[in-house]
Amino acid sequence: MRRLRPYAIPYLAWMAIFILVPTIILVILAFSDLELYDPGPFAGTLANFSVFAAPLVLKSISNSLSLAAATTGVCFVIGYPVAYFLATLPEKTRHVLMSLLIVPLWSNMLLRIVAWEKVFTPDSFFTDLFGFSFDLLGTHAGILIGMVAMYLPFMVFPVFSVLEKLDRGLIEAAKDLGASDTQTFLRVVFPLSSGGVVSGFIMTMLPAMTSFVLPARIGLGRIPLIGNVIESKFMKEVLGSSGVSINEGALISLALMVIAVAAFVLVIRVDKEGETLI
Amino acid sequence: MTSRRFRRLAWKGIGFLFTAIAFLVIYTPIVVILALSVNSSVRGYSWDGFTLRWYSDLFVTDAMKAPIVNTVAVALFSTLIATVIGTLFAIGINALDKKRRVRMMVLNNVPVVNPDIVTGISLMIVFSLLSLTLGFGTVLIAHVFFSIPYVVLSVIPRLKKLDPNMYEAALDLGCSRFTGMWKVILPNIATGILAGALMAFTMSIDDFVITYFTSGSEYMNVSTWLYASISRSRGFTPAAYAYNAILFVIMIVIIVFVNTRKDKKEKEIIA
């Protein structure tokens, strides 16, 4: 197989172009006042850091962190038992139910968000059909429910894939050696599933933290997240309106990247080749 | 002893209850979308009775034609390209020694973990640096970029199960490298390739964030078209719900087909 190795080389070049280059550019933009389309002499500055003092940015950071933490927490509390329960079912049922968890992901994300808007609007078509509805537009609770619905499968998948492969013999062995059910779970099953749990945490937390359509729609724009700030910094620049700093957007993106890298290092520690990522 | 059995039953009950809650939460928007696709009301503020009008509208009105064609074209092309390139990359990565392989897999997984918004902005920066005009081409490259890692992740486990001596043996017995690849490696990793392709297609057809940042203001797929429509608060035709429902059914048919085919194949191998 050695002679097949060259196939991996272009991948390095590909990744350099699309990961390394933009990261360098983001760093340059974040620590200067250069424009994206106007490469001038580079003069380093820390002025862009003042963006973190803006009330709107501070508020969106705290919104992002609290909503992402809540979403991840709820997804874990619901998702782990679901993954555990599904993993104990007979093979056929298990596969059917897992497929049923994947199927909703094929519905357009924006339409799913619009659907939640309808559910959370008092007296909508939903009321006509089901006789009740919620009044959750513009609230944290509404965004939280929307996010849980959106990202819960990404907690269930990795945990399930680890639990499914778990060696049943280990559980038997623990029981034979006198462990109670609780002990078996806490000291054998859960530690062995930690790789899936870490993947699940990251696959729900990062998207929740950076989402921008969902908070804009369900939150009615009243609850900005960090994604909304980045979007406004970058897209208005591209669309040509003035007074928006792409440099500040680059700095915030870079901060997000640092968080992603930290999360990533955590994944690598438990799962070197990313087998729990899909 | 009975208390232990009772406890287990209680836990099973809790597992069942949570699973029911999970399915309820995940399926609520799906049911709403399906309901809206057959609702006579244009804005969807009330239930005005059953209709199939939006399904026929889908093939008549022009509003959605371009976004749908764009979405499907990008999904098909990017899936095809990403599957071919991703499979070759995976074969190369698998042939590396363990240390290098792990490093490459770490690199491979960066786009998987990176938030979409950061990937989108990164790609946008590269494209503007290369002064490419944002449109079909850039969206296609972007979709190929984020799909490849999923193909690699799907193919690698299959490659690991493959006996490396088989390929060497084929070459020793006079196969060309191409024939060795075509007749020995590819048939053995076919299920992984198919799974990767399916994943790539799924990611592409539903993508919003990355397309949004790499498409410019003219080129639209269904997602960015929807976003533009709702942002300008003029709403969109319910034909969008019909489109979604049709896509949904097609995807289910594909997955059922793939699964039954897999079952058959596995049975053949056992027999």
Q: Give the closest of A112, A253, A268 to B106, CB-based.
A: A268
Of the candidate ranges A15-29, A44-58, A174-188, the one whose mean pLDDT is the lowest: A44-58
The model's pLDDT over A158-174, given as tens digits with 9 standing for 90+, comes to: 999 899 888 888 888 88
R_g of chain B, CA atoms, integer Å: 23
What is the model's pLDDT at position A65? 93
Contact B114 A257 (CB under 8 A): yes
Would you say residue B270 has pLDDT above 50? no
Would you say residue A179 has pLDDT above 50? yes
Computed over every residue of chain B, the mean pLDDT equals 86
Give me the residue spans of the domains in chain A: 55-270
Task: Copy the structure tokens of residue B110.
Answer: 């960066």
Alpha-carbon gap, residue B120 to A257, rounded angstroms: 12
B259 touches chain A (CB under 8 A): yes
Contact A115 B28 (CB under 8 A): yes
Would you say residue B131 has pLDDT above 80? yes
Would you say residue B269 has pLDDT above 50? no
- Chain A neighbours among B 109-138 (CB < 8 Å)? 109-118, 121-126, 128-129
Distance between A55 CA and the closest CA of chain B, angstroms: 22
ipTM of the complex: 0.87
Contact A95 B259 (CB under 8 A): yes
- Is there a contact between A199 and A264 (Cβ–Cβ < 8 Å)? no
Would you say residue B4 has pLDDT above 80? no
Give me the residue spans of the domains in chain B: 2-52, 65-236
Q: Which amino acid is at A188?
A: V
Full-model pTM: 0.88
Return the CATH class of domain A55-270.
Answer: mainly alpha
Distance between B174 CA and the closest CA of chain A, angstroms: 15
Contact A102 B27 (CB under 8 A): no
Q: What are residue A247's phi and psi, to 5 degrees?
A: -65, -40
CA atoms within 13 A on the CB side of B72: 11
pLDDT-derived band at A40 (thresholds 50, 70, 90) equals low
The model's pLDDT over A77-89, given as tens digits with 9 standing for 90+, comes to: 999 999 999 998 8
In chain B, % of residues over pLDDT 70: 95
**Alpha helices (H) along A131-245:** 140-165, 168-176, 181-184, 190-192, 194-210, 213-218, 226-239
What is the model's pLDDT at position A159? 93
What is the model's pLDDT at position B238? 87
Task: Copy the structure tokens of residue A69.
Answer: 């933490």
Alpha-carbon gap, residue B236 to B243, rounded angstroms: 12
Contact B247 A106 (CB under 8 A): yes
B65-236: CATH, from 3.30.70.80, 1.10.3720.10, 2.40.30.10, 3.10.450.40: 1.10.3720.10
